[in-house]
Chain A
Amino acid sequence: MSANIKKSKGGPDRHPLAPWMFLAPYLIYAAVFFVYPLLYAAWLAFHQTDGPQASVFVGLGNFKFVFSDPRFYKALTNTTIYAIASICIQLPIALGLAMLLNNSNSRMKGAFRLMIFSPNLVGQIFVGVMFAVIFTPHYGLFNKGLDALIGWGLEEQWLQNPDLLLPALIIISLWMYVGYNMIYFLAGLQSVDKQLIEAAQIDGASSWQTFLHITLPQIKPIAIFVVIMSTIGSYQLFDLPFALMKGQGFGPGDSALTIVGYLYDWGFNVGDLGTAAAIGWVLAVIIFTISILQLKVTRAYDVD
């Protein structure tokens, strides 16, 4: 590629400024809406603010406060449970559905893919509004469906019971995102070497063995990608519980409080942008650490 460009006479080099002209909007954007706010966020995290005008330097005060606030740990626990459940429940189902689709003929594949993916088009707020009604005790679609299927759950107060609110969120996110992750797994499965699978089957490997030793290693890159993306997405959950709680608080006993909800509460209900910025940094560090850990752990398996 590079040799190709260098060879051409009077090529792009004739216009040394051209790439910079094309990049100019991004460079201005990055300076104003990324680098500057990033530095500003660092500055804010060490200041106590009261509205956009007044600020006092407080050192590590904001961080000390966050780490001593039980609500932060509540938010962290909720978000972590939600993230783990999303990965452990959603991704195996997504992979299973992708495998079912991968073995189907193409017309069926297109139709089912479209249907299972469709909830992803609907924003979290709209989904929250819908499911606030779907989870109504006695009358709600979910309660009635559960009652019809297993004879339990008709009167459960999913959105008022602190023990059921998080499971309700996990069920909704399963409905919303299983199709999204399925599409990634499907793309991964389509690149799996079919001859290798056939060879294994001829050698008498069971379908479980084939899956474990042939399919899984080959879709590993995309699986890592999906796990990391779901984790990052899960830790940024906000809109869905916010709409589900009808914009009024974060559920009984903060049982639907997420880290971003906690950030929003401090920044825009209380109006303390310093604490909000500190929470933002904590969130960034959490996401960063988990992504690195996941990469390290999955790499470690490679060595075996």
Chain B
Amino acid sequence: MHTVHWVLIAAAVIYIVLRLIPGKGWKIAPAYLRVVLLCMAAFLTLTPFIWLICSAFKDKTIMMQYTFLPPVSDWFNGALNLDNFKHLVNVKDISPQGPVSFWQYIVNSIFLSCTITTINIFFSSMAGYALAKYRFRGRNIIAFVMIGSMMFPSMLLLAPLFEMIYKFGWMDSYLALIVPGAITVFGIFLFRQAMVGVPNSLLESARVDGASEFRIYWEITLPLVRPITAAYCLITFLGTWNAFLQPQIFVQTQSKLPLPVVLNQYIGLYVQEYGIFLAGTLLAIIPPAILFFILQKEFVAGLTSGATKG
């Protein structure tokens, strides 16, 4: 019998005992069961992450020997060390242009994600503002085209996009990733939804004071929808940080690649040295995790706002 079994049996026994106690025990039994089930779900969800952290610090000689960590007595004998990270940073890469440090890929990913996120928030919120706060001829047609465009899978446009990027001369340039990612219909609708709620009287009084239309958008409306901006910032950042297919197709120079493409290479390259690409994966998921912890409340609200308000 494994420890896991004992834990499960103990949890079940406590539940049965609670059900048998009349009065108070019977009442808290469902709450207890709820917590147990949620703990199990959380445990199953978090285990791969714990395993990833352990693996990144394990020496390659004991990588296979222990599922998680070696016994505490071995911790300071070199069983746990930073070799995987050191190897990653000093890697003599497959690049014909010379060695590329892992830091370079992290910088690439941060640069791409921040640039695309900033540009995308700016343009998407502008279009969302126009749809939310102006009545004009053709507004319905534009909204119709937007909804229609969401029904086409982006994969359909991949082959033509490849030819276009080639003809524009954007192959191996970040323009191939930044320009097609500069705006999303999803973002436009998210901002429209939030900006409809901004009171018109506020915008009117600014107009009376002589503020330009752009200033009304930039200095009054946009700050008022900060929660949705935060949510959309995280959604876009995660999307670009994790994007694989476009950079895989459009970027060729090794030193320009973002993290997902590089880790996909490493898994084929370091077949036997798991620790190296697991350490890389750990580094690659830290920045979005930090951003998520800062913005998580807004993120959850933003995710579901489109679905519940319809």
Seen from chain A, the residues whose Cβ lies within 8 Å of a Cβ on chain B are 1-2, 4-6, 8, 10-12, 14-16, 18-23, 25-27, 29-30, 33-34, 36-38, 40-41, 44, 52, 97, 100-101, 103-104, 108, 112-119, 121-126, 128-134, 139, 141, 144-145, 148-149, 175, 179, 183-184, 187-188, 191, 221-222, 225-226, 232, 235-236, 238-239, 242-243, 246-248, 260, 263-264, 267-268, 273-274, 276-277, 280-281, 283-284, 287-288, 291
A277 in contact with B160 given A124-B242, A288-B151 (CB within 8 Å): yes
Instruction: Give the distance in Å from the alpha carbon of A235 to the alpha carbon of B4 in the complex.
Output: 36
Closest residue of B by beta carbon distance from A226: B307
**Quick check: is B281 within 8 A (CB to CB) of the other chain?**
yes
Q: Could you pull out 23 A-B pairs where Cβ atoms are within 8 angstroms?
A: A2-B135, A19-B130, A22-B130, A25-B123, A25-B126, A25-B183, A41-B159, A52-B166, A108-B35, A112-B38, A115-B42, A129-B266, A145-B47, A183-B303, A236-B155, A239-B260, A243-B244, A247-B267, A260-B155, A267-B158, A268-B249, A280-B159, A283-B155
Interchain nearest-CB distance for B287 vs A (Å): 10
**Quick check: is B24 within 8 A (CB to CB) of the other chain?**
no
In the complex, chain A residues whose CB is within 8 Å of the CB of B140: none
One of B75-83, B87-95, B288-296 at the interface? B288-296
Cβ contact within 8 Å between B161 and A37: yes
Interchain nearest-CB distance for B100 vs A (Å): 18
Instruction: Give the distance in Å from the alpha carbon of A41 to the alpha carbon of B44 in the complex.
Output: 43
Contact with A126, one of B35, B51, B260 (Cβ below 8 angstroms): B260
A141 in contact with B48 given A22-B217, A26-B183, A125-B264 (CB within 8 Å): yes
Number of A-B contacts (CB under 8 A): 265
Cβ contact within 8 Å between B163 and A175: no
In the complex, chain B residues whose CB is within 8 Å of the CB of A139: 64
List B17-59 residues whose CB lies under 8 Å from chain A.
34-35, 37-38, 41-42, 44-49, 51-52, 55
* Total contacting residues, chain B, CB less than 8 A: 96
**Quick check: is B162 within 8 A (CB to CB) of the other chain?**
yes
Closest residue of A by beta carbon distance from B263: A129
Closest residue of B by beta carbon distance from A144: B67
Cβ contact within 8 Å between B244 and A133: no
Instruction: Give the distance in Å from the alpha carbon of A130 to the alpha carbon of B279 in the complex.
Output: 10
Cβ contact within 8 Å between B153 and A221: no
Instruction: Give the distance in Å from the alpha carbon of A100 to the alpha carbon of B36 in the complex.
Output: 10
A40 in contact with B164 given A121-B285, A129-B277, A133-B278 (CB within 8 Å): yes
Instruction: Give the distance in Å from the alpha carbon of A52 to the alpha carbon of B159 in the complex.
Output: 10
Closest residue of A by beta carbon distance from B182: A29
Cβ contact within 8 Å between B204 and A11: yes
In the complex, chain A residues whose CB is within 8 Å of the CB of B136: 16, 19-20
In the complex, chain B residues whose CB is within 8 Å of the CB of A274: 159
Cβ contact within 8 Å between A284 and B38: no
Given A26-B127, A118-B289, A122-B285: 10 more A-B contacts, CB < 8 Å? A8-B200, A12-B133, A16-B136, A38-B157, A41-B159, A103-B34, A108-B38, A243-B267, A246-B264, A280-B157
In the complex, chain B residues whose CB is within 8 Å of the CB of A23: 126-127, 130-131, 142
A52 in contact with B167 given A4-B200, A238-B245, A273-B162 (CB within 8 Å): yes
